[in-house]
Amino acid sequence: MDNEYEARGAVNSGGGTWYTSSFLTGNHYYQSFDKYIQNLNVEVTDYINDFLQGHRENYGFIVLKSKEDESSTRKFGTAKFFSSDTHTIYVPTLEVRWNNTTFTTGSLSPQTNSDLIVYVKDFQSEYKENSKSKIRVYGRERFPARTFANASPIKSVKYLPTTAYYSVVDAETNKTFIPFDDTYTKLSCDSTSNYFNFWFNGLQPERYYKFVFKVVDSTNGTTKFYDDNFFFKVVR
């Protein structure tokens, strides 16, 4: 039997009181899997809208198995959670996604070479837990062609494709904390360079992380990853 964890709201009782679906839509959600090898990742947007629009108080979430499994005498294993005081990356997390990408290249030219070095400028080794930073990302040709000019081609800034993304990885466990996403982790661009705005309060403090970049080049059908030790620490 598949194990199902439900995020569902008529009021129920039994050691406590909880809702089993959204007031606004009546929707309930669940995740089903055979073995406990996946993270529990359940859609809760409708519930958050209930909270924000004042339809019910925000008392948090309760995680339950299906009614059948909850009343069964069969053992289905356990799902472990860690509090925010345990200094791990495994605390229950409410993940909020939005698309704030803008792509205005100004006078920059497109980067058409697929053999690139991707790097960041003004990158800090530490960021405050409640800080926000604009991370500047550059891509230059690994072997630029020789030219007779007054400026080095290495210093020439060109913008990466609109299909360039970032990810955040926990440095100690190598677990991906924020995965690549075609919509929500796209790099932006302005007249200076590519960039992305990042809020560090979504990461556990006093831990090390790193940024990893992915560039998809639709013109030649290549996808390349750039993991060049872009490590940083989030501090209190």
- Over residues 8-25, the pLDDT tens digits come to 445 565 666 788 888 889
Give pLDDT, residue 8. Answer: 45
Q: Between 91 and 224, whose confidence is greater?
A: 224
Which residues in 54-206 belong to E strands, given as ranges? 64-65, 109-110, 116-121, 126-128, 132-141, 158-159, 164-170, 176-178, 188-189, 194-199
Distance of CA 46 to the CA centre of its chain: 20
Listed ranges 89-93, 126-130, 146-150; the one with the highest mean pLDDT: 126-130
Q: Quick check: helix, strand or coil at residue 183?
A: coil
pLDDT digit string (tens) for 164-186?
999 999 999 898 989 999 999 99
Decide if pLDDT at 124 tops 90.
Answer: yes
Buried b (16+ CB within 10 A) or exposed e, 172-207: eeeeebbebeeebbbbbbbeebbbbebebeebbbeb
Label residue 107 by pLDDT band (50, 70, 90): very high
71, HSE (Cβ side, Cα atoms, 13 Å): 3
Where in the chain do CATH 2.60.40.1930 domains reside?
109-235
Decide if pLDDT at 154 tops 60.
Answer: no
d(CA 186, CA 219): 18
CATH code reported for the domain at 109-235: 2.60.40.1930
Give pLDDT, residue 36. Answer: 60
Measured from the Cβ of residue 128, the count of other Cβ atoms closer than 10 Å reads 14
What mean pLDDT, rounded, does the chain reach? 85
pTM above 0.95, yes or no: no
